[in-house]
Amino acid sequence: MNSETLRQLLLDSQLAWSLALIASVILVRYLLTHAFRKTSWPRQDIRRRVHMVHNFGNLIMVIGLFAIWVSELRNFALSIAAFSVAIVIALRDVVQCLVGGIYQAGMRSFTIGDWVKIGEQFGEVIDNNWLSTTLLEIDPHGLGNGYTGTTLYVPNSVFFSQPVKNLNFMRRYIEHTFSIVRENKGENPFAIKAFITQRVLEHCESFKDVAERYCKLIESRMGVDLAGTEPKIKITTSELGHDVVTITLFCPREDATDIEQKVTEDFYRFWYGPKATDTASSTLPAAGV
């Protein structure tokens, strides 16, 4: 048996072991993933476990293939020494993504299920591997869940050039601000301030205690002082001279739109509801005063 025949047999055995390793890893990964998705665990826990299985399976596959082909890789590396510079340049982006993934894992800036903002991209992290991070896009100006239905694949190399903001603490409760603009018809706009403040407090009464505890939790975890849970009413004027009432409140994200609509309804009922004219007129100063 000559050296060429021996080498061919060695390559055939390495190829067979490689295919067996890949098939085994894929089969085990599929079975574990299928088993996790059949459980009654919370959706985020299932995602985390599936994510761990995929990454661990990929790691085993890479280490196994490297162990099987180490002799061939050594010979291959020696044979391409003259082209090493070109290979480094060609794989620069891949290396940057790999190093970015290691950097993010070391920093632990986010995990599966967190809401993050990477540069201008805003979404929920649904997968994170060595090369890229997958986000389920969320409309930064939307309320409720705010999912747009778009999946974003962000290369890990952006962690070196773009800021990463973890917004997970603002996932349940947000500081929601909205404005109501109304043409001034001679009434004092401050006449509505006490009424609107009272109505906002009534709308927020059901979750007031939970909001205060959650606000304190955010302050404790992040080491910052928030503005608090009390609603804030500010009255200004627009460039056209219209009255602008700006309301800021700390509320559950999914309730923000509903509360905004209720407060807007209260606003217009105050000015245009029954006896609104008498109520507004009583706030004006008497003539000759």
SS (H, E, C) the chain: CCHHHHHHHHHHHHHHHHHHHHHHHHHHHHHHHHHHHCCCCCHHHHHHHHHHHHHHHHHHHHHHHHHHCHHHHHHHHHHCHHHHHHHHHHCHHHHHHHHHHHHHHHHCCCCCCCEEEECCEEEEEEEECCCEEEEEEECCCCCCCCEEEEEEEEEHHHHHCCCEEECHHHCCEEEEEEEEEECCCCCCHHHHHHHHHHHHHHHHHHHHHHHHHHHHHHHHHHCCCCCCCCCEEEEEECCCCCEEEEEEEEEEHHHHHHHHHHHHHHHHHHHHCCCHHHHHHCCCCCCCC
Mean pLDDT, to the nearest integer, of 202-225?
Answer: 79
Provide the pLDDT confidence category of residue 235 given band limits of 50, 70 and 90: very high
Of 125 and 89, more confident: 125
pLDDT mean across residues, the chain: 80
Provide the pLDDT for residue 287.
38
User: Using one digit for the tens of pLDDT, what is the confidence trace for 44-92?
Assistant: 788 888 888 888 888 888 888 888 877 777 766 666 665 666 666 777 7
> What per-residue confidence (pLDDT) applies to 11?
63
Q: Which of 1-15, 145-159, 176-190, 192-206 has the lowest mean pLDDT?
A: 1-15
Q: What percent of the chain has pLDDT over 70?
A: 79
Q: Cα–Cα distance between 57 and 78 in angstroms, integer?
A: 29
This prediction's pTM: 0.52
- Is residue 121 within 8 A of residue 168, CB to CB? The reply is no
For position 207, what pLDDT does the model report? 87
